[in-house]
């Protein structure tokens, strides 16, 4: 009778005990989704003037019909979509988001007047809402605490780079097919993605057949669940000073950053006198450099947490980066009239330095939100996106008021954006990532006693 050939456990190759790397494949899905959302969001700035000419719009009308309509719906539906991800899991919600992204990107190209444009953009914002809260929720399930900042940094790197290359992509599509055809063709990006994502992606490592026990143990070292999960305490969450400080920071962050996603093209064209391919590439430059710092910022915040703990490991980077980012915008204002290269360099550096704090923002929502991180991220991003609702029309009015008839002063609007970054820097001082805010005091005490209130 033949003996089994299985080796004793101590002689087995140790490769089977090494964690599989499925979480990094999951991260690739999340990064590609982040890029897709920003391609649709930023690409339109390249064809803004074509849209205005075709639909007989002014910059002030474009501000609310195109930019604010999207961001208002995005803000309104962010919390429900984030909460839905906590209940159903990110897989279903993110699939629905990309389907809506495809549909309303195409419909944007079918707009025939200001009201249809505003309606399609509002529906677009409602459909895309919840993308990043659900990405954050998936990150919590798939990454240990020590890798959260890095994961968020990579996600925002791809988001920013998606926005950086979007003007060039839109120009390539619009040249032969016009702005309407460009939106329709852009929507096709999501077809293969959404099919493959739903087939391959799973909400948790426990559900994925290719994840081995070693990787599950690595992730579950900080993500523990209980057989008696505590409910979300809305009162405890909404009364948390950390939540409101985080939301104020993100409101001002978005209000300041909205320049790079809305009015940077007219500023570069009218005030820095750029045109053609130079204008297209320059429009995406600040986002390209911002993407690099998103990755570095994610790495730095994880390292800082190990050295200094969560309190300053998450927040100090935000305090410094937003403060310097605002100061660099003031440099750009002063340099606009006489030093074009210096003004543009200051813009790129402002985006670069400011985005060092972006990964910390989203890692903090995971820290304080625990297993309701999708809801907390939804609240932060909902209130944050109100900054992008208010900012474009306010800045359009400011540019017209500061200029002469037919010649808005886009350079002076940088004072507004700088002020937003300065307020965001101060708000970071009142954020405390050490406090989990989603459970009642009694539930927190019980979970802590059971060892389930770690990361």
pLDDT in tens, 290-307: 999 999 998 888 888 888
| pLDDT band with cut points at 50, 70 and 90 for residue 1 | very low
Distance CA 232, CA 371 (A): 9
Of the candidates 75, 117, 53, which has an alpha carbon nearest to the alpha carbon of residue 383? 75
The angle subtended at Cα 83 by Cα 81 and Cα 85, nearest 5°, is: 70
Sign of the four-CA dihedral 286, 117, 386, 383: negative
Mean pLDDT (the chain) is 88
Per DSSP, 263 falls in state: T
Q: Which residues contact 202 (CB under 8 A, 6 or more apart)?
A: 26, 91, 208
Of the candidates 158, 174, 156, 132, which has an alpha carbon nearest to the alpha carbon of residue 45? 174
SS3 386: helix
Task: Enumerate the domain spans of the chain.
Answer: 20-223+230-449
- Mean pLDDT lowest among 9-23, 42-56, 231-245: 9-23
The phi and psi torsions of 274 (rounded to 5 degrees) equal -95, 155
User: What pLDDT does residue 42 have?
Assistant: 86
> For the chain, what's the residue count?
455
Distance CA 32, CA 293 (A): 18
Distance CA 347, CA 151 (A): 26
Distance CA 237, CA 368 (A): 9
Of the candidates 263, 295, 39, which has an alpha carbon nearest to the alpha carbon of residue 150? 295
Q: What is the DSSP string of 35-77?
A: HHHHHHHHGGGGGHHHHHHHHT--HHHHIIIIIIHHHHHHHHH
**Third-level CATH fold of 20-223+230-449:** Growth Hormone; Chain: A; (1.20.1250)
Distance CA 57, CA 55 (A): 6
- Mean pLDDT lowest among 5-9, 40-44, 261-265, 403-407: 5-9
| pLDDT band with cut points at 50, 70 and 90 for residue 247 | very high
| pLDDT band with cut points at 50, 70 and 90 for residue 9 | very low
Residue 228 scores a pLDDT above 90: no
Q: Which tokens is 170 given?
A: 């839109």
Distance CA 171, CA 284 (A): 12
């Amino acid at each position: 009778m033949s003996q089994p050939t299985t080796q004793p456990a101590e002689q087995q190759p140790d490769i089977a005990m090494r964690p599989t790397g499925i979480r990094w494949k999951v991260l690739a899905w999340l990064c590609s989704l982040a890029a897709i959302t920003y391609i649709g969001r930023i690409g339109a700035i390249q064809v803004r003037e074509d849209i205005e000419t075709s639909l007989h719009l002014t910059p002030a009308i474009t501000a609310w019909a195109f930019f604010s309509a999207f961001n208002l719906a995005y803000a309104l539906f962010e919390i429900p979509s984030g909460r839905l991800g906590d209940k159903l899991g990110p897989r279903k919600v993110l699939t629905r988001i990309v389907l809506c992204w495809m549909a309303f990107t195409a419909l944007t190209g079918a707009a025939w007047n200001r009201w249809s444009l505003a309606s399609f953009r509002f529906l677009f914002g409602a459909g895309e809402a919840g993308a990043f809260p659900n990405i954050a929720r998936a990150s919590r399930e798939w990454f240990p605490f020590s890798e959260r900042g890095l994961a968020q940094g990579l996600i925002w790197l791809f988001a920013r780079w998606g926005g950086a290359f979007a003007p060039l992509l839109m120009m390539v599509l619009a040249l032969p097919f016009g702005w309407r055809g460009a939106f329709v063709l852009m929507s096709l990006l999501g077809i293969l993605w959404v099919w493959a994502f739903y087939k391959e992606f799973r909400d948790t490592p426990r559900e994925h057949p290719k994840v081995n026990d070693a990787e599950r143990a690595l992730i579950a070292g900080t993500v523990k669940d209980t057989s008696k999960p505590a409910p979300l305490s809305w009162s405890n969450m909404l009364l948390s000073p950390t939540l409101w400080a985080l939301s104020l920071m993100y409101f001002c962050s978005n209000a300041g950053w909205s320049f790079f996603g809305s009015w940077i093209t007219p500023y570069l064209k009218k005030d820095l006198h750029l045109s053609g391919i130079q204008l297209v590439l320059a429009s995406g430059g600040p986002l390209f450099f911002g993407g690099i710092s998103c990755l570095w910022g994610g790495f730095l915040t994880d390292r800082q947490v190990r050295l200094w703990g969560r309190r300053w490991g998450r927040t100090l980077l935000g305090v410094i980066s937003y403060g310097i980012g605002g100061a660099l915008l003031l440099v750009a204002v002063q340099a606009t009239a006489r030093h074009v290269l210096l003004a543009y360099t200051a813009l790129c550096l402002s985006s670069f330095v400011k985005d060092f704090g972006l990964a910390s923002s989203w890692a903090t929502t995971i820290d304080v939100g625990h297993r309701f991180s999708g809801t907390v991220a939804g609240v932060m991003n909902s209130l944050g996106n109100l900054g992008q609702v208010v900012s474009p029309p306010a800045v359009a009015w400011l540019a017209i008021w500061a200029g002469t008839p037919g010649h808005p002063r886009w350079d002076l609007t940088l004072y507004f954006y700088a002020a937003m970054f300065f307020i965001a820097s101060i708000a970071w001082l009142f954020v405390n990532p050490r406090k989990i805010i989603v459970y009642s005091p009694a539930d927190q005490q019980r979970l802590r006693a059971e060892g389930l209130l770690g990361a």
